[in-house]
Chain A
Amino acid sequence: GESVGLHLPTLSVQEGDNSIINCAYSNSASDYFIWYKQESGKGPQFIIDIRSNMDKRQGQRVTVLLNKTVKHLSLQIAATQPGDSAVYFCAENMSGSSYKLIFGSGTRLLVRP
């Protein structure tokens, strides 16, 4: 139900700067990871994904880095724009559990004009 609890961590960046959003995942058996963007009042939207046999993948203005040793995932956004302001979630899928995505706690990105 409703919860007055922890607020999401917030990253504030200047428009035009690069943003780095970090995520620690929980299960060393996870083999597929996705970054989602959620704007206010909307459902999450796919940004980029990466499989565990890779350590880097690039998209348009975004790069995902995977460090399996420390179970860490990061999303880099180049030349951050006001439209990038949103909450960003990482999600993991565990090998052998192909039907479930487990979401991390999210980071709010605020872009200053």
Chain B
Amino acid sequence: EADIYQTPRYLVIGTGKKITLECSQTMGHDKMYWYQQDPGMELHLIHYSYGVNSTEKGDLSSESTVSRIRTEHFPLTLESARPSHTSQYLCASSTRGNTEAFFGQGTRLTVV
């Protein structure tokens, strides 16, 4: 089992609210990622990080933002949630020399 944790597992929130999805890993991995996945669909990379104070946008445009102040922590924030943000958000991490990514359980977000 990989040591990467996401909270909450499920979140239902009203439109306009600010939310932060938490992701932590205890493996000391430099690289971390956020993917968005709709039910029955593929994963789309929305953010990634090489290490502390490094963040980049992924291939799928997202209104979310991320920060990487500590190696182990890579939170994702939505300033104003909308129904179009309803999806599953998956966090992953990997070591610098290895592209294999370990995934968390995901956060299923529903915006009503």
Contact = CB atoms under 8 A, between A and B. Distances in A.
Interface of A: 1-3, 5-8, 32, 34, 36, 41-46, 49, 87, 89, 93, 98-106
Contact of A49 (B31, B38, B86, B100): B100
A103 B42 contact: yes
A-side interface mostly: loop
Contacts of A93: 99
A90 B6 CA distance: 23
B100 A44 contact: no
Contacts of B68: none
Contacts of A103: 35, 42-45
Number of contact residues on B: which range applies? 20 to 34
B31 A105 contact: no
Given A2-B38, A101-B33, A42 B105 contact: yes
A5 B44 CA distance: 15
B66 interface: no
Given A99-B48, A101-B101, A5 B90 contact: no
A43 B105 contact: yes
Given A43-B104, A99-B48, A99-B50, A32 B86 contact: no
